[in-house]
Chain A
Amino acid sequence: MSIEQKIQTGRPPVIEIKDMTKVYVMGKTEVRALRGVSLTIHEGEYVAIIGASGSGKSTMMNMIGLLDQPSTGSYHIRGAEVSSLSKDRMADMRNKEIGFVFQRFNLLARTNARRQVELPLFYAGVASGKAAKMAVAALTRVGLGDRTDHKPDELSGGQQQRVAIARALVNTPSILLADEPTGALDSKTGAEVLTLFDELHQQGITLIVVTHDMGVARRAQRIITLRDGLVISDEPNEKQQVTAPDAHYLEPQANEQRLNSQPNTTSEAESLLTPSIRESEPVHENS
């Protein structure tokens, strides 16, 4: 019995990828970041993509988020073949269908939180008065209702990431993509972000999180493992851990305990990944 049937009986596929490859050409050398990936993700799924640094996670995520184009293979999003979409249509999809949370936040310099969050609304054609209200509402939802006038350099890393999440969510996308969302955060703020993801999942959003941290992956329903640009495993997460919706921002101590309470699983995951680690970028140790 396939995973899809097991978990998502009856739900339509949102993302269908078949034999996707991506080759980066740098002068004479070619980097084959993806070497034929196939996967299907259904409406409302919470999926974690794990793998060592350099295994192709970000590359795949950028394809899914329509930020980049595959070299070969097909990608259908909500039934539409992406290679046949116009540039403007793809921009509209990024604007309304997909929320993207970057590892490095990618906020505009010297621009306050409210205006950051208003950006997708501007491109959606929302009138500025309404956009301001929606932006403040989105910031309030991520716990930054009192920081709307703060600029990135006046916010902590966790707060900046929450601004980025508010920006990703403000247009109520049906798909939320997060590339190592906790990678640059300390464990407390990382936990806050994960709690928010649990809530969003419960509200029915399709959620895909890239991570190399098992602690993060364990929150998902399904874990896809990449190695050297190939899917090496795609399994439901039997030990899914969900915080109760009312158990908001955990005490740092409790948080620390929870993350440290599964040392075995974490090392298992790491040992699984070690053979393919190419130290092209530092591994962000999060816990």
Chain B
Amino acid sequence: MKILRYFGVAFESIRANKLRASLTMLGIIIGVAAVMTTMGVGSGAAASITAQIESQGTNLLTINSGGSRGNGPTSNSSGSGATTTLTRADAEVLADKKLHPELALVSPEYSSSTTFVNGDKDSTQQVVGTTPEYALIHNLTVTNGRFFTQEEVDNSSSVIVLGATLASDLFEMTDPVGQMVRVANQPLQVIGVLKASGGSGFGSNDSRAFAPITVAQGRLFSAPRYRGTYTISSISIKGADKNQLDKAQQLIEQTLRLRHGLGADDANDFTIFNQASLLESLNTITTTLTLVLGALGGISLLVGGIGIMNIMLVSVTERTKEIGLRKALGAHDSDILLQFVIEALVLCTLGGLIGIGISYGITFIVKLFTSSFSLIITTTALLLAIGVSSSCGLIFGLYPAMRATRLDPIEALRFE
């Protein structure tokens, strides 16, 4: 194999010029590692944000009562603004498959904060009064016991499902299921405990409780009525088709405006949050983030490239003389080019591999320290990093060769 002989020459040349070779490689290593890790941070952040949103259920629409006054999508606070006009009747109409076949699951929600008491332990938390569909829409998992049924909603049964943190606050190590807890001074039986979601802060299910909506509206909180039916704080909806969420939103808007008797000039007295459009705008943000980080990595790549260029320019005299000598000893131009291409290729490959290794190493280390966030190395980042740094190496490696092969051997030998 003739080509193998050139690998020999290339390796020999690298061995004879370790400093030059390692500096060249360093440029490639820095470039590749920087691009891959910075882009990895971007993709990782994007993925963890998306995952957090999708963990609350995909394909979601949330209707809050009141016009758009900047309620966050996860806000369940009731009574923001004037009279609440959103009622259970609205939810029932939306749940009607004949009227709204585009909606798969509809669940009304009436939430309020109150005090939970078990013996000498108490805690003030939010009770979400809702229907069994809520658990399906929001992907709630019950680890201990069960969620309440439609029958229990219809019968206003005195049952409650606790979030993981709330359960351990009230019952500590004992099994809460089957025990009684006083909620807003009403005794309710705990029938289930939710799986800990790990999320924390406002809107986390871990410190909330879930009761049949009939119980929450009636015995617990005596919810206000509107036109004879109980008002609710919000409606959670899962669309039948992920791609038809915008259409579903329009249909819901039509129905609710009609039901609430709003004229053409009246503003909506409810607000619809579309998770798809939320994800979309988040995607735009995270894409920008990835691009910004990628640009930072690109700067390192440029710095690495300039490093390679400097090494090559410094060594161009020596290399040109070397080429002159090799030609004087009988090398064809093709021999010279092949040697230099392979040399550059070997350096780029080695440097690229080390750079990739380093970025995977960083990914691994990040994984050791945190579970909520990980670096994600995308194929794009990989190809970009390898492509750019390899072309730097090739261009700057070939530059002296291309130039020197055009010279007569003696000109190359005399090159200063």
Residues of A with Cβ closer than 8 Å to B?
A: 62, 65, 67-69, 87-88, 91-92, 94-96, 100, 102, 106, 108-111, 115, 119-120, 122-124, 128, 167, 171
Contact check: which of B16, B321, B335, B411 meets A123 at CB < 8 Å?
Answer: B335
The answer to whether A111 and B9 touch across the interface, beta carbons within 8 angstroms, is no
Query: Which residues of A sit under 8 angstroms from B9, Cβ to Cβ?
Result: 122
CB interface residues, B 390-416, toward A, < 8 Å: 408-411, 413
Q: Knowing A111-B16, A122-B5 are in contact, say whether A67-B332 is a contact too (CB < 8 A).
A: no
Q: Of B77-85, B323-331, B346-354, B364-372, which stretch is located at the interface?
A: B323-331
User: Chain B interface: which size bin?
Assistant: 20 to 34
Instruction: Tell whether B8 is near chain A: CB-to-CB under 8 Å.
Output: yes
A120 to B333, CA, bound (A): 14
List 29 contacting pairs A-B, 8 Å CB cutoff, sorted by A. A62-B410, A67-B328, A67-B408, A67-B409, A68-B410, A68-B411, A69-B408, A87-B333, A91-B327, A91-B330, A91-B331, A91-B332, A92-B330, A94-B327, A95-B330, A106-B325, A106-B413, A108-B322, A110-B16, A111-B12, A119-B329, A120-B330, A123-B329, A123-B330, A123-B331, A123-B335, A128-B5, A128-B8, A167-B329
A69 to B328, CA, bound (A): 13
CB interface residues, B 200-244, toward A, < 8 Å: none
Query: Which residues of A sit under 8 angstroms from B321, Cβ to Cβ?
Result: 106
Q: Knowing A119-B326, A119-B329, A122-B5 are in contact, say whether A67-B16 is a contact too (CB < 8 A).
A: no
The answer to whether B330 and A67 touch across the interface, beta carbons within 8 angstroms, is no
A128 to B9, CA, bound (A): 11
Query: Which residues of A sit under 8 angstroms from B411, Cβ to Cβ?
Result: 68
The answer to whether B16 and A94 touch across the interface, beta carbons within 8 angstroms, is no
A102 to B411, CA, bound (A): 14
A102 to B412, CA, bound (A): 14
Instruction: Tell whether B17 is near chain A: CB-to-CB under 8 Å.
Output: yes
Q: Knowing A106-B413, A110-B17 are in contact, say whether A120-B8 is a contact too (CB < 8 A).
A: no
Residue of B nearest to A68 (CB): B410
Query: Which residues of A sit under 8 angstroms from B335, Cβ to Cβ?
Result: 123
A106 to B412, CA, bound (A): 12
Query: Which residues of B sit under 8 angstroms from A102, Cβ to Cβ?
Result: 413
The answer to whether B410 and A67 touch across the interface, beta carbons within 8 angstroms, is yes
Query: Which residues of B sit under 8 angstroms from A119, Cβ to Cβ?
Result: 326, 329
Instruction: Tell whether B318 is near chain A: CB-to-CB under 8 Å.
Output: yes
Query: Which residues of A sit under 8 angstroms from B408, Cβ to Cβ?
Result: 67-69
The smallest C-beta distance from B23 to any residue of chain A, in angstroms, reads 15
Query: Which residues of B sit under 8 angstroms from A108, Cβ to Cβ?
Result: 16, 322, 325
The answer to whether B410 and A94 touch across the interface, beta carbons within 8 angstroms, is no
Residue of A nearest to B408 (CB): A68
Residue of B nearest to A62 (CB): B410
For the complex of A and B, the 4 pairs showing the least CB-CB separation, nearest first, are A95-B330, A67-B410, A123-B330, A110-B16
CB interface residues, B 330-349, toward A, < 8 Å: 330-335
Interface centre among B321, B408, B411 (most CB of A within 10 A): B408
A106 to B329, CA, bound (A): 11
The smallest C-beta distance from B2 to any residue of chain A, in angstroms, reads 8
A273 to B143, CA, bound (A): 107
The smallest C-beta distance from A134 to any residue of chain B, in angstroms, reads 14
The answer to whether B16 and A95 touch across the interface, beta carbons within 8 angstroms, is no
Residue of A nearest to B339 (CB): A122
Residue of B nearest to A124 (CB): B330
Query: Which residues of B sit under 8 angstroms from A68, Cβ to Cβ?
Result: 408-411
The smallest C-beta distance from B291 to any residue of chain A, in angstroms, reads 44
Residue of B nearest to A119 (CB): B329
The answer to whether A88 and B332 touch across the interface, beta carbons within 8 angstroms, is yes
A119 to B327, CA, bound (A): 10
Query: Which residues of A sit under 8 angstroms from B12, Cβ to Cβ?
Result: 111, 115
The smallest C-beta distance from B403 to any residue of chain A, in angstroms, reads 16
Query: Which residues of B sit under 8 angstroms from A167, Cβ to Cβ?
Result: 329
A214 to B335, CA, bound (A): 40
A95 to B327, CA, bound (A): 9
The smallest C-beta distance from A223 to any residue of chain B, in angstroms, reads 24
A122 to B6, CA, bound (A): 9
The smallest C-beta distance from A106 to any residue of chain B, in angstroms, reads 5
Query: Which residues of B sit under 8 angstroms from A94, Cβ to Cβ?
Result: 327-330, 409
